[in-house]
Amino acid sequence: MKTLPKKHAFSLPEGMIYLDGNSLGPLPKGVAERVQQMMQDEWGAHLIKGWNVDDWMGQPVRVGNMIARLIGAPEGSVTMGDTLSIKVYQALSAALKMRPDRRVILSDSGNFPSDLYMAEGLINQLDQGYELRIVAPEDVAGAMGDDIAVAMITQVDYRTGRMHDMAGITKAAQDAGAVMLWDLAHSAGAVPVDLAGCGAEFAVGCSYKYLNGGPGAPGFIYARPDIVGDIQPALAGWLGHDAPFAFERGYRPAPDIERMRVGTPPVIQMTALEEALKVWEGVDMADLRAASITLCDLFIELVESRCPQLTLASPRDGATRGSQVSFAFEHGYPVIQALIARDVIGDFRAPDIMRFGFTPLYIDETDVRGAVDILADILDNRLWDAPEYHKKGRVT
């Protein structure tokens, strides 16, 4: 199989098989040095001048452009900032304003809870009879109707890896007159995305998963360039203003994607992200996708032949799966803890999902085989059934 020659670009602990890059990407080499340099040479030496001389002010869109390339979005259509949950709120509220006669936010039961919670919070806040309608993932396209204001769909299911057809669902939404909002949290850097091609109005995502920006790295938001000038931002912060340093009394949004900025950006964190995104130089998303499917298929084949206790919870067909594989098992939590104790890092999602991310930038066939050897040993010998593996941490 074709492997991507990028493993050397990451600082992975010796001996660790890291199958959790779908949750928190590892540290790319060069990031720690770049952040150190930024602290000394920019913050330390330039202080407030850094906003101009180091262009901290331009960083959200500059970094957004690096992500735009990975999600099929044009230059200047993506900006960074805040958290993904906040970006969901911004996009949703903007979408509702675009369809004032409609009252339904459509989503599916595979969506990540925070997206659904943000929708509920917004609905409560508006208090104008809005409704969050949640259908099964396979029913999304068929659930479009003339009461849907916005379809808010996460392309890749965080639990199972099931992947929606972006072009098909976007078309169904728009044919019904709804606005389309994609959450690309488990897509950006994991699978090829063609935002411009599918024509969705909005997309959001985070940068600490497959994009390796580090814990707390900011979210991103995309708005289709032809609609951005009409968006009415709910979070009308000063850095989304057309002229923040005019300090005008009234809010007047920037003409472009910068209107989706809110307040002061996390410059240190974004410097880490900007450096981390350099690993994508020269990576062809089609090659990445091919490698990801090969690794996931191999993992499924080996686990099914050696660990019959586990039930595949992901689509078997690689074409409808993101870059992760999940297995259901009633003792999934202690099994994952036992794996972590052996330096094979996956994670657990309630109620019974064992989740493994395959990130071909730094995971290869040897890692897959090594992980399955250890998993089979843990299951065959019930090594997971030790008291220390049953203790629940604050984060699973």
**By CB under 6 A, residue 274 contacts ligand PLP:** no
CB atoms within 10 A of CB 36: 10
Single-letter amino acid code for the residue at 385 = D
**By CB under 6 A, residue 220 contacts ligand PLP:** no
Number of amino acids touching ligand PLP (CB under 6 A):
13
Which of residues 271 and 324 has its CB atom nearest to ligand PLP in the complex?
Answer: 324
For residue 266 the two structure tokens come to 């996390």
**By CB under 6 A, residue 347 contacts ligand PLP:** no
**Does 10 participate in catalysis according to the annotation?**
no
Among 110, 213, 219, 346, binds ligand PLP (CB under 6 A): 219
* 32, 276 contact by CB (below 8 A): no
Residue 124, H or E segment? helix 113-126
Which one from 210, 355, 358, 389 is the annotated catalytic residue? 355
Among 6, 186, 259, 261, binds ligand PLP (CB under 6 A): 186
Q: Going by DSSP bridges, is the β-strand pair 104-108/131-135 parallel, antiparallel, or unpaired?
A: parallel
**Does 183 participate in catalysis according to the annotation?**
yes
**Does 208 participate in catalysis according to the annotation?**
yes
| Chain residues 72-131 in contact with ligand PLP, contact rule CB under 6 A | 83-85, 112, 114-115
Which of residues 68 and 156 has its CB atom nearest to ligand PLP in the complex?
Answer: 156
| Chain residues 155-184 in contact with ligand PLP, contact rule CB under 6 A | 158, 183
Which of residues 50 and 205 has its CB atom nearest to ligand PLP in the complex?
Answer: 205
Specify the DSSP class assigned to residue 292: H
Among 185, 267, 345, 353, binds ligand PLP (CB under 6 A): 185
Which one from 10, 112, 356, 389 is the annotated catalytic residue? 112
Which of residues 218 and 253 has its CB atom nearest to ligand PLP in the complex?
Answer: 218
- Closest C-alpha among 10, 201, 26 to residue 98: 201
Preceding peptide of 266 cis, ω within 30°: no
Helix (H, G, I), strand (E, B) or coil at 312: strand
* Extended beta strands in 33-172, E state: 78-80, 104-108, 131-135, 148-154
**By CB under 6 A, residue 262 contacts ligand PLP:** no
Which of residues 182 and 384 has its CB atom nearest to ligand PLP in the complex?
Answer: 182
- Smallest distance from ligand PLP to CB 213, Å: 11
- Closest C-alpha among 138, 201, 135 to residue 165: 138
**By CB under 6 A, residue 210 contacts ligand PLP:** no
* 109, 134 contact by CB (below 8 A): yes
**By CB under 6 A, residue 206 contacts ligand PLP:** yes
- Smallest distance from ligand PLP to CB 119, Å: 11
* 19, 348 contact by CB (below 8 A): no
- Rounded CA separation 333/378 (Å): 13
**By CB under 6 A, residue 267 contacts ligand PLP:** no
- Please, which residues have CB within 8 angstroms of residue 299's CB and are 6 or more apart in sequence? 325, 356, 358, 368, 371, 372
- Closest C-alpha among 186, 363, 396, 236 to residue 291: 363
- Smallest distance from ligand PLP to CB 133, Å: 18
- Smallest distance from ligand PLP to CB 226, Å: 26
- Closest C-alpha among 358, 309, 316, 297 to residue 335: 309
Which of residues 87 and 241 has its CB atom nearest to ligand PLP in the complex?
Answer: 87
Which one from 10, 208, 210, 220 is the annotated catalytic residue? 208
Which of residues 114 and 174 has its CB atom nearest to ligand PLP in the complex?
Answer: 114
| Residue whose token pair is 């109005």 | 201
**Does 394 participate in catalysis according to the annotation?**
no
Starting from the edge strand earliest in sequence, which strands make up the sheet with 324-328, in order? 311-312, 324-328, 353-357, 347-349
- Smallest distance from ligand PLP to CB 189, Å: 13
Residue 124: burial class (beta carbons within 10 Å; 0-12, 13-18, 19+): exposed
Which of residues 84 and 180 has its CB atom nearest to ligand PLP in the complex?
Answer: 84
**By CB under 6 A, residue 65 contacts ligand PLP:** no
For residue 221 the two structure tokens come to 């938001």
- Smallest distance from ligand PLP to CB 115, Å: 5
Which one from 183, 347, 348, 356 is the annotated catalytic residue? 183
Which one from 209, 224, 321, 342 is the annotated catalytic residue? 209
**Does 29 participate in catalysis according to the annotation?**
no
Beta bridge partners of 78: 222
Task: List contacts with ligand PLP (CB under 6 A).
Answer: 83-85, 112, 114-115, 154, 158, 183, 185-186, 206, 219
Catalytic residues: 112, 183, 208-209, 355
